[in-house]
Structure 1
């Protein structure tokens, strides 16, 4: 009999943001400014004392739902072989089949799946990327957190300077303001600030209709952008495909999709040049790897969304062009930091994900649940 899962601990954590942030969804009146991020952490311990940590997250809404769903299905993992990750992922999906295989239902399961992969890599004495099979030991990285629409332009430029000096290899700023002159002013200033060739991306956060998107994307052609992100509604795969054919600048999208099946539709429509899957949103690493295989077959570049502590490993294992998004928001949750050098994020050589949970993470925990026998 091999090692088995003995104990599972769940934590619902609320991380406060130092400053409320707003992207185009706020300026168009569809959302309120974001003041906090909710996290679901799963800590899985085996009978032999091995331990894995995983997490999922929710912005603005959904955190309590993720925690509640995870607490309902967690007990089914007790006594199982932690190495059987694919089987356990399917088992968890069936445990909550009545609420579907997308959205909150799979995002809650992502915390378990990530924890099982972290555990498996630790048992092997390998970094997660090494367990999967890396193609690089560092991944091109760009910063997003310094370029939100609510941030005054002088501060956005200062943030960009700080990021470049810290070794970041690309800068992304938010666009999609109802007044298009605001977008042009900020983008023009940023391009002049960074120079003609420094990697620069923009993100409209789904706030343009098709007519506006084609108009703005054609105007943006002159700025030599790496990509234009989410110019249309995330589920308008046909519209994204038409747009991608009509302009020279690459299109990036996919972060809002919450299942492998939704990514299949996106890829089949040839809706983007850069695919942006999010492991916690699609159900964990097991599901992310399925998406990555499809992306590779379609010849797409990969730029996973958020959660750099997970995605740095996954982007390193992608054969094609890959970027990883740098957000320092999650730093207080962990004792370790992601290293940046020469425009790239260095893949940790510590076993598993290479992170341990901080005392601050414990202090921000608002609910816990425990299953099985603690070690």
Structure 2
């Protein structure tokens, strides 16, 4: 029997790209170990690059990238230069279009800002493809689960007194969040240990607890503190060393009982491959906006799966929930409520898990507040009808 030809258009030419630079202010300045060691200033706002891509058949996709402290205007400027290369292209050909965009800016590299500027466009293309299919992005990618274990980070910063950290943790657990992450890495290691001990005593032994040193220990300190932290039964120790010290992280992963987590600061597949091949992490923490979008993230996930690694994508839960749900092995997703004012929708949390929404694509629409926080925007191609 001969199959009847489909009446659905196979191609979806891109006719419009809209870019916007949005500055999200935080309610209060926050500090991690990088601030306490004098390497950075407290974080007061986050810059976002939003991309909306429209096609000839009337479909639209939305994606975003971000930068903490410096870099937001640079992402926006680079995206404006390369985005015209998408006009007239078939939006379905996401892999080829990612290559086209990276080559359009290849003289400034294939990692860092050059690829982070591509992320918003790439994520918008995946959002669009899932919407055309009428599927949540996780389902389009091939979900392994409908909910992902989640832990809170935003309540455990070093700028908060320990009493506030404990209160935030208890509130998160009451609201259904499944784990708590604390910032450590202070110049005074004993202060870190007292902080972890206090939270563990208050929350009990059964609550999943993680710590994050934000790259502020050297190798001897990380080994010494890591041994002491064993008694707290942590889910992982995150970024104990410089993000690019693959060998140092590998030594910790080989000698400590507590798992090692790292990867969030890396901005390419190649950098993650080095971590994976060195066996530097038990939990890999890629960040889709930082590595250039969902397309390179999926390449990293395939490498991680091949080595049987667990995964805990960094930040941007609105994107990473879908990607974690499509990863076949153990996953966690990081809860930050910071981005919620940018969107009309909210993610649901229940029984320690974040639920994959049943809305098509990422399941997000931009709020009026996002428009109010827009500092610059540009339209490329045909205006929206």
Scaled by the length of structure 1, the TM-score of the pair is 0.99
Whole-Å separation in 2 of the counterparts to 1:161 and 1:240: 31
Partner of 2:266: 257
Partner of 1:74: 83
SS state at 2:185 partner? coil
Query: Which of residues 228, 231, 256 in structure 2 aligns to 1:219?
Result: 228
Partner of 1:370: 379
Q: CA deviation digits over 1:258-313, x for unaligned, max 9?
A: 00000000000000100000000000000000000000001100000000000000
How many residue pairs are counted as aligned between the two chains? 375
Map residues 145-224 of structure 1 onto 2, 5 A cutoff: 145-224=154-233
SS state at 1:168 partner? coil
Q: Is the 8 A contact 1:197 1:224 kept in 2?
A: no
State the 1:180 CA deviation: 1.1
1:274 maps to 2:283: yes
Whole-Å separation in 1 of the counterparts to 2:299 and 2:244: 19
Note the residue ranges of structure 1 that are not aligned, 5 or more in a row: none
State the 1:194 CA deviation: 1.2
Whole-Å separation in 2 of the counterparts to 1:194 and 1:157: 8
Partner of 2:3: none
Moved over 2 A (4+): none
Q: Is the 8 A contact 1:110 1:284 kept in 2?
A: yes
SS state at 2:126 partner? helix
Whole-Å separation in 2 of the counterparts to 1:89 and 1:184: 44
Query: Which of residues 331, 335, 354 in structure 2 aligns to 1:345?
Result: 354
Partner of 2:306: 297
Partner of 2:239: 230
Partner of 1:131: 140
Partner of 1:288: 297
Whole-Å separation in 2 of the counterparts to 1:97 and 1:103: 11
Question: Root-mean-square deviation (CA), in Å?
Answer: 0.6
1:241 maps to 2:236: no
Partner of 1:6: 15
SS state at 1:76 partner? helix
Whole-Å separation in 2 of the counterparts to 1:111 and 1:296: 25
State the 1:47 CA deviation: 1.1
Query: Which of residues 70, 76, 94 in structure 2 aligns to 1:85?
Result: 94
Note the residue ranges of structure 2 that are not aligned, 5 or more in a row: 1-8
Whole-Å separation in 1 of the counterparts to 2:258 and 2:310: 13
Whole-Å separation in 2 of the counterparts to 1:319 and 1:194: 30
Query: Which of residues 365, 368, 374 in structure 2 aligns to 1:356?
Result: 365
SS state at 2:123 partner? helix
Q: CA deviation digits over 1:66-103, x for unaligned, max 9?
A: 00000001111011100000000000000000001000
Whole-Å separation in 2 of the counterparts to 1:242 and 1:364: 44
